[in-house]
Chains A and B, each alone.
Chain A
């Protein structure tokens, strides 16, 4: 009987960070769904991402975390706290759920997410061991902090760490979002229809220091479109990226007319997912849309620099490519090698080393994602099985203590 209750208990996954983190939570979501197949898993995420969260396979309710409203409440409380005003907050929380969840899985090591979990569920599993006022981290959260400080190769990928935080192992195969048929606006309806390679170029990034310079994009796209094989480029990004997209187009030859589409700021997130699905490749920095492309089954090629590290947040799945810069601010960019690789992946094994960059390819096995080097670098030690065993034992021992 107790086992039945456990299997059918209401559970909630909490991911309050940005698009890229939500998409990278998909493996943990899939593993939890597989572990508890008798009751669908609900998902709490920021309000602007709820439409996308609705595409998670077998998701139950998607709860909307209204950060803007919390800011308004917090502002109104500054200097003039009124207990009665908490009623409005209470009503909002009741709209999310009238009964507390049995378990909340909190994927962010942030007080808001931990507090949200404690408000909405009777038990919380995630980064903190003993609740919102406790700073003692769980074994998986300690591991995350450790690798953030020490870096190193072939560690456990962020998506798989999320699985660890939730007490599940990575899914046997990289999961995909369930895409309904989405109409694309205007000329974007043509994307992916004609023959040739369709390449989505993610022009922006959440942080300015992770953005690929406009001049690099101009050269990269010019090189792609100058190639003999037929191909087309779709610029993707948010409304904020429209200026960058225009600057890129200004720098391109007028001869590329009819081979470049600008989708920046013109799509909802589900439409963006559809757009990426229609492309053969997505190329860009470590960004939400690049991860979204992998979650709809599109090949990804990432340029990782600044604070981005392939082993932590490389594109999840099988067969993606990552160019990892040796320095935060690359002096040169692997434009021709990357274009050549994208248009003819068969040449990967003959790839010449590029100064200042290393090339990595993604793989997936029972321990989740792993990236292996190309171009002459020696085999890397795979620490994942050891780490999984150690952390699982620590977790079990803590559960025993509790």
Chain B
């Protein structure tokens, strides 16, 4: 019997449907090449899937690098010739469950034909079929899940894996019942400041306990430093100031350690502080709501955060990983429907804020170059926002002498304009040739039910369709497109309504925060994942404590069953028995641990 028959016959004992499907499936995806050791290795698309020298040793080294907690199911992405699965089975305790994701049967057929599998194959469960079927099989394998990736083989099916992971995250999001304690660290000032507030509000709406570490209160002092004429002094003092605020943040975190520290772009946390937080087992994430090509300070922070969330795709993700980031995920911008919403405006307001065409934003170079072309037409044009100094030809349309526009005014302009222009900023002339990310204004306009004409962005079709947002691919198209849309008021209203529905359904900050947490939850099943699953709630803890520590279990049962219980809560409950309260041995251990927990000075 050849290897293929031997392997498939063996497989038929545990998963006959998969064995039958394998017999139907042809191979040929992998090119089998003998390694130097004589064992079969494999290539695909000209790239090695396993070592050309010693695939077994390489797989063992990979398996050594994977972490595992008792009770977890390990889900392996990347099939190849299964050397890595064999090595993982050898390393893990026999009770550990291993699920191999098989998005393409032809690869498994090649693997079955290449070499005969050992007894370890009996420990493997197989997740195969459609994306939904695979995610269902993984979910059925039991929680908590730990996803591990054998990158050389997984790269062949990166899209499928992403889709499966997203499906798993959705399941986590749906199941999420546990309350996290999240500290959100905001910037001193700038565009990410309102995003911080929206994120805080969204997290609270999801039921989490959120503490906003608001550094905007330090903005006045920081701006004073900007007035220093000596650039050496200014830069040195700004750096010291950021370091000081970083320490303030640490002190705040030490007072009430959260489950997750979520920073928004420009948050004053420097690398040494992030490294210290990691040593103290804080989990950190950064939502970098900036164009990574323009603001490059991420290079100094990449290795500091456990998770990065970015608004740009592949090149940005690759750059961050190159700089040392471990986990980088795409998380586009969004809108907050409680702020960005349709408004009933008075006639006076319509006259003040309304126009045929409007734009709200700062005077970036490309806008200064494009907007003069919109003057002298038979429509009214109003330009709102600051940093337009020196744009003499736009003075006639610039509102409020170029004063900064607050959020309320912005919503009124959006609601009162027939065509809202949405030109993404760029330091060059014309439109950004590398324009990829979608700015917050896109979602905010849509959430207001306002019609917008935006420049084409490569990531726009992922979030809003051509039925929802009108686009131009060149500044030259703008006058004609504006004229066209001004003549089609009904279609404008219909598109804006569709865009609003889409944003409410998929693109609010609540959606983003749920995605962010579920992604972190899947990636850290023993920490955030376990809290989201409710494993830290009183009843779940009491069940695990019942056998070895019955007195502890009965204390845990004095809490409401779904209340999240931590060491400090438990200690407080024990102390509340009063001076004459009876203490069990585990009560004393809990009190002792709490004494050590309450010492936070070493963090600061």
Interface set of A (CB-CB < 8 Å, partner B): 67, 70-71, 73-84, 86-87, 89-90, 93, 111-112, 115-116, 118-119, 130-136
Contact = CB atoms under 8 A, between A and B. Distances in A.
B5 interface: no
Given A111-B591, A134-B579, A79 B596 contact: no
Interface in B544-559: 544-545, 548-549, 552-553, 556
11 contacts: A77-B597, A79-B258, A79-B259, A80-B531, A81-B536, A82-B541, A83-B541, A83-B548, A86-B552, A115-B588, A131-B583
Given A75-B281, A134-B579, A115 B552 contact: no
Contacts of A93: 589
B295 interface: no
A78 B588 contact: no
B549 A133 contact: no
B206 to A, nearest CB: 18
Contacts of A119: 585, 588-589, 592
Interface string B583-602: 10110111111111101001
A87 B552 CA distance: 12
B565 A81 contact: yes
B549 A83 contact: yes
B549 A77 contact: no
Contact of A86 (B549, B577, B581, B595): B549
B520 to A, nearest CB: 14
B70 to A, nearest CB: 9
A35 to B, nearest CB: 28
B595 A115 contact: yes
Nearest to A83: B545
B595 A84 contact: no
A130 B580 contact: yes
B566 A78 contact: yes
Q: Which one of B541, B552, B585 has the highest number of Cβ atoms from chain A below 10 Å of its Cβ?
A: B585
Contact of A74 (B536, B578, B585, B594): B594
Interface string B478-511: 0000000000000000000000000000000000
A79 B532 CA distance: 12
A83 B544 contact: yes
B565 A80 contact: no
A119 B595 CA distance: 14
A199 B583 CA distance: 52
A73 B567 CA distance: 11
A116 B592 CA distance: 8
Nearest to B259: A79
B213 to A, nearest CB: 17
B570 interface: yes
B589 A86 contact: yes
Contact of B567 (A77, A112, A134): A77
Nearest to B281: A75
A167 B552 CA distance: 35
Interface of B: 181, 257-259, 280-281, 526-527, 530-531, 536, 541, 544-545, 548-549, 552-553, 556, 565-567, 570, 574-575, 577-581, 583, 585-586, 588-597, 599, 602
A131 B584 CA distance: 12
A119 B584 CA distance: 9
Contacts of B257: 78-79
B157 to A, nearest CB: 33
Contacts of A74: 567, 593-597, 599
Contacts, number: 110
A81 B567 contact: yes
A67 B578 CA distance: 27
Contacts of A116: 592
Q: Which one of B258, B526, B591, B593 has the highest number of Cβ atoms from chain A below 10 Å of its Cβ?
A: B593
Contacts of B589: 86, 89-90, 93, 119
A70 B595 CA distance: 9
B583 A133 contact: yes
Contacts of B594: 74
A75 B600 CA distance: 10
A78 B592 contact: no
A79 B552 contact: no
Contact of A132 (B552, B583, B585, B597): B583
Given A119-B588, A134-B579, A78 B544 contact: no
Given A74-B597, A84-B544, A135 B579 contact: yes
Contacts of B280: 75
Contacts of A81: 536, 541, 565-567, 570
Nearest to A120: B588
A70 B598 CA distance: 12
A349 B578 CA distance: 57
Pairs A-B, 10 closest by C-beta atoms: A83-B545, A74-B596, A134-B579, A74-B597, A77-B567, A81-B567, A115-B592, A70-B596, A119-B588, A74-B593
Nearest to A116: B592
Nearest to B566: A81
B593 A89 contact: yes
A80 B527 contact: yes
A70 B580 contact: no
B573 to A, nearest CB: 12
B595 A136 contact: no
B595 A112 contact: yes
Given A77-B567, A80-B530, A116-B592, 8 more contacts: A78-B281, A78-B597, A79-B531, A80-B531, A86-B586, A133-B574, A133-B583, A135-B579
Contacts of B599: 71, 74
A135 to B, nearest CB: 7
A395 to B, nearest CB: 19
Contacts of A76: 281
A133 B181 CA distance: 29
A133 B577 contact: yes
Contacts of B588: 115, 118-119, 132
A76 B597 CA distance: 9
B596 A71 contact: yes
A86 B526 CA distance: 17
A70 B578 CA distance: 25
A120 to B, nearest CB: 10
Given A80-B531, A119-B585, A73 B596 contact: yes
A77 B592 contact: no
Q: Which one of A70, A78, A86, A87 has the highest number of Cβ atoms from chain B below 10 Å of its Cβ?
A: A78
Contact of A79 (B181, B574, B585, B602): B181
Nearest to A136: B579
Nearest to B602: A71
Contacts of B549: 83, 86
Contacts of B281: 75-76, 78
Contacts of B567: 74, 77-78, 81
A80 B586 CA distance: 17
B548 A87 contact: yes
Contacts of B597: 74-75, 77-78
B583 A73 contact: no
B593 A77 contact: yes
Q: Which one of B556, B590, B602 has the highest number of Cβ atoms from chain A below 10 Å of its Cβ?
A: B590
Nearest to A100: B585
